[in-house]
Structure formats: structure tokens, C-alpha cells
Structure 1
Amino acid sequence: MEDDMFRIAAILDPRFRMTWASASDVSSLTDILVTEGLRFQEIDEVQSPSSKVLKLEEDSIFSFLTPTKRRHRSGADPISLEVKAYLNEDNEHLSVNPIDYWKNSESDYPILAKMAKHYLAILASSVPVERLFSVAEASLSN
């Protein structure tokens, strides 16, 4: 599971996407990303107040009078479509900040953007913490 966390974070970095993965791993990595995206989608649906309102309207005796949103009826779920579209894009230049990329792409990939905010916040190393302790030690010893 911990390895999946790092893999997902690497895939969600728009500068690399899956260029680091072997051709034989791409399918399984895509499945991991879609599975995690479904989890985020479920969490979002549970926390969204608009889903509760929609549910009440559907259960109402007068529900036939209110316009309803047409549900997505294609064979693929929204996260699968997002993942496919995201992975088909060209990689961003190395100077691009991944967090800025996801802020700008939130309307195109809403579920992946939420995942990116979660996964890209992970520190890749302990160097910043060690540097902080070194500075604190130096200031206390002086």
C-alpha cells in the first residue's frame, strides 16, 4: 500500500506521468490510479450536500415535475475517463510546478485534482526536517 502511495504521487506529477514506468506496468498502474480515484469519488459524493438534495428530489412524490440531471450512461465511469485523458496528454515542462498545474486543471480533472492535492503534499524526503533540526541546534548552541 505504501508503494502504491508513492506510485500514485509519481503518476500525478504532470512532468512525468508514467514515463518512468515499464510498458508491462502501465496497465496495472492505471488500475491502481482508477481504484484510488473511485475511493476519492465516493468520499466526495458522501460529503457533498448537493447529492443529498438530489436524493430528496428523486424520492419526492412530485419528482416528475422537477428537471433532473441526466446521468452519465457511457460504459466508463468519470474517473476512468479522467485518467485516460490525463495520461494521453503530453508531459509538462520540468519547470512547471505540479501544484499550479492541478489548480489550473481542476475543471478538466476534478477527481484527479483532489487526489493530487492529497498525494503531492507528501514530502519526498526527510531533508527539510533534518535541515530544520540543524538550524535549531545551531541557534541553541550559540
Structure 2
Amino acid sequence: MASTVDPRFKMRYTAEDNKTTIQSRLKAEMQTLAMMVPPQETAQETSEEDAEAGCAPKKKMTLGSYFKTAEQALPLNNQKSSVSCELESYLQSSYLDSEGDPLKWWKEHEKIYPRLSKVAKKYLCILATSSPSERAFSSGGNVVTCLRSSLKPDQVDRLVFLAKNL
């Protein structure tokens, strides 16, 4: 699914028989993320109030506020159609250059594709390499040698931590 939300590839390298499955999973995830995130209007009002006050107090949610957000939400059929339209619009838009940064692209197009940008940020932030974990294992192999084979696990953890952070 990560390659689908990457504007450099979209569905270019996806097999034809998998496209409908991926699109339906993507639509379902867009709907669940849209339900979980509070409306943008309330978030902006809170941030403006915090800026005026000079501090960041947390606003308590009352029972009435839950009903208010439920009333503001789109009906399920309208939400499904808007999610479908948003996804189709994204898939029909032009590809990003292969040298371009997909996260910057999503930042620029966040207003056009609000639900899909949340899904993209969720999947594109995952590190695509195992280098950091490989480095940790390598430093662990350097710490635990034949002469230090009887170290207890807590000591090994501390020595690896020191080796990586000093």
C-alpha cells in the first residue's frame, strides 16, 4: 500500500488483479482515519486560543462535544463517495518526478487530498532500510567477544548503549 500513496509510483508497478483489492483497503483506511481525526475547525480554534493565552492548556472534552462532532460528520454514503472521488482524483493526477520528495509533495497537496494525505504520512514515514538495526547488531558483536562471552544481558545492553551513544 505504501507504493500506492507514493506519488512517484501510484499503481504503476501493481499487478492488475491486485489493484481493486488495494484500492478497497485504501478507501477503508481513509474512512477510518477520517473518523478518528477531529474536525479541523476545532483544532484551529484551540490553537488560536492557546496562542493568545501564551500557554497550552488542554481542553476537556464534554459529552456534548462528542455529539457535536458526530453531527458535523458526513453521512456514511456521502463519506464513501467523497473518499472514492478523492482517491480517483489522486490516481488520475500526474506522477511526481522520480527524483522528487514524496513527503514534500504530500505537504503541498494536503488541502486537495486531506484523507489520503493522512494515510500517506502514515506509510511513507516508515524507514525503508534496515541499516540502523544492522549497526546495533554490529556494535553488539563488537562488544561481546570471546573474552567477554560471560557478560550478563544487562551489562551487554549497557555496553552496546554506551558504544552507540558515545
Paired residue for 2:29, among 23, 33, 36? Answer: 36
AA at the equivalent of 2:82:
P
Distance 2:17 2:28 in 1: 18
1: CA distance, partners of 2:40 / 2:17: 37
Alpha-carbon separation, structure 2, partners of 1:102 and 1:122: 15
Matches within 5 A, 1:2-21: 8-21=1-14
TM-score (norm 2): 0.59
Alignment of 1:1-142 (within 5 A): 8-45=1-38, 49=42, 52=65, 55=68, 76-131=80-135, 134=138, 140=163
Q: Distance in 2 between matches of 1:77 and 1:120?
A: 25
The answer on whether the counterparts of 2:31 and 2:80 sit within 8 Å (CA) in structure 1 is: no
The residue aligned with 1:66 is none
Identity among equivalent positions (%) equals 30
Pair 103,132 (structure 1): closer, same or farther in 2 beyond 3 Å: farther
Q: TM-score, normalised by structure 1?
A: 0.67
Give unpaired runs (5+ residues) of structure 1: 1-7, 59-68
For residue 124 of structure 1, report the CA deviation from its aligned partner: 1.8
Amino acid at match of 2:10: R
Cα deviation per residue 1:60-111 (whole Å; 9 max; x = unaligned)? xxxxxxxxx8x68868532211111111112211111011010000010011
Shift of 1:47: 9.0
Question: Superposition RMSD on alpha carbons, in Å?
Answer: 3.5
Following TM superposition, where does structure 1 have runs of at least 4 consecutive aligned residues deviating by more than 3 angstroms?
45-50, 71-76, 131-140
Larger C-alpha radius of gyration, 1 or 2? 2
Shift of 1:30: 0.7
